[in-house]
Structure 1
Amino acid sequence: MSNLLLEPVFWFAVSFVLFFVIFGPKIWKPLAGMLDARADQIRVELDEAARLRREAEQMLEDATREREQAYAEASALIEQSRKQAEDLANKARLDAEDMLRRREQMAKDRIAAAERTALEDVRAAAVDAAFEGARLVMQQSIPAQTSTDLVDSAIAGLPTALSPRAA
């Protein structure tokens, strides 16, 4: 055993044990208090982190729900816009067809009016030509005195021919 008492490691171990036996309770309480305080602080931080995580998950769920709702609203709006565009296109097509029918009818009416005018002009020209031809024939075939007598008798018979009783 004498060898053991001469070893510095032995005395170091004895002093270490004695140090902790004498000062251990005085050091252990503050050290344990610091460790407990640190553990409590870590626990509080973990609780806060868990609460923040739950809030983040809730926010993510809310954002996802809002995004899906916005997507649904956008889809409905796009569909409604597409329907309105189709309705406007159909209305524009129908309006264009109606306008074309009206213009076609107006053109037909103008053509018919032009035909009537041309027909009246042709008839008037034919009447004028017939009167001129009759005048020339009468001028050449009836002597001048007879034509004067015919005109005088026609003028004299006008009141009788124009009176309502004669009809």
Structure 2
Amino acid sequence: MDATFWALVGLIIFFAVIAYFKVPAMIAKGLDGRADKIRNELEEARKLREEAEGVLAEYKRKSIEAEKEAENVVAAAKREADAIASEARAKTEEYVERRTQMAEQKIAQAETDAINAVRSTAVDVAVAATEKLLAEKMTAKSSGDLFKQSIAQVKSGLN
């Protein structure tokens, strides 16, 4: 019996021990378990990917909605600012117009007051000058005649 024979016998005993302890079944069972684990991980990864895609789509939809809402807010703010500016312009113009009218009225009143003051002063000066002239040139008799003439002129002017 040579060494080759004993190597063959050892190999047969080795395979018999492996078969007796069901090592191939244990290896297959381990590989099946490992394959199941990998399959479950792949399925979970697929579900997570689908969920992530759903979240991404939702985010994109919300982003688009937010952009539209922001555009609407900006447009509304612009319309409101234009309305406020227009109203402010109108109020300013109205204010300026009122102030102009008030200034014109004050100027007209000042002119009237000045004219009246000049007339009053002119009348006062004329009366004073007349009194002075009359006092210098009038005697008692001539003043009586002048008084009668004046009354006659006033009466004729009233008629």
Distance in 2, Cα, partners of 1:150 & 1:64? 111
TM-fit CA distance, 1:130: 1.8
Q: CA deviation at 1:52?
A: 0.7
Q: C-alpha separation between the residues in 1 aligned to 2:35 and 2:23?
A: 18
Runs of 4+ in 1 over 2 A off after TM superposition: 10-25, 144-151
Equivalents in 2 of 1:132, 1:37: separation in Å?
137
Task: Give matches, 1:76-155, under 5 Å.
Answer: 76-144=72-140, 147=143
Match of 2:54 among 47, 58, 65: 58
Q: Distance in 2 between matches of 1:85 and 1:11?
A: 103
Looking at structure 2, the residues matched to 42 and 109 of structure 1 have their Cα atoms a distance apart, in angstroms, of 98
The CA deviation at 1:134 is: 2.1
Give the 3 Å change call, closer, same or farther, for CA 82–11 of structure 1 in structure 2.
farther
Instruction: Report the Cα offset of residue 31 of structure 1.
Output: 1.3
TM-aligned CA distance change 1:150 to 1:30, over 3 Å: same
Q: 1:23 maps to what in 2?
A: 18
Give the TM-score of the pair, scaled to structure 1.
0.75
Whole-angstrom CA distance in 2 between matches of 1:127 and 1:17: 158
* Per-residue CA distance 1:63-87 (angstroms, 9 max, x = gap): 1111111111111111111111111
Unaligned runs of 5+ in 1: 154-167
Distance 1:143 1:79 in 2: 95
> How far, CA to CA, are the matches of 1:102 and 1:83 in structure 2?
28
Counterpart-to-counterpart distance in 1, 2:137 and 2:56: 118
Cα distance 1:114–1:12, how it changes in 2: closer, same or farther (>3 A)? farther
Q: For this pair of structures, how many residues does the alignment match?
A: 150
Name the aligned partner's letter for residue 38 of structure 1.
R
Instruction: Measure the CA separation in 2 of the matches of 1:94 and 1:14.
Output: 115
Q: Percent identity?
A: 36
Equivalent residue letter for 1:29: A
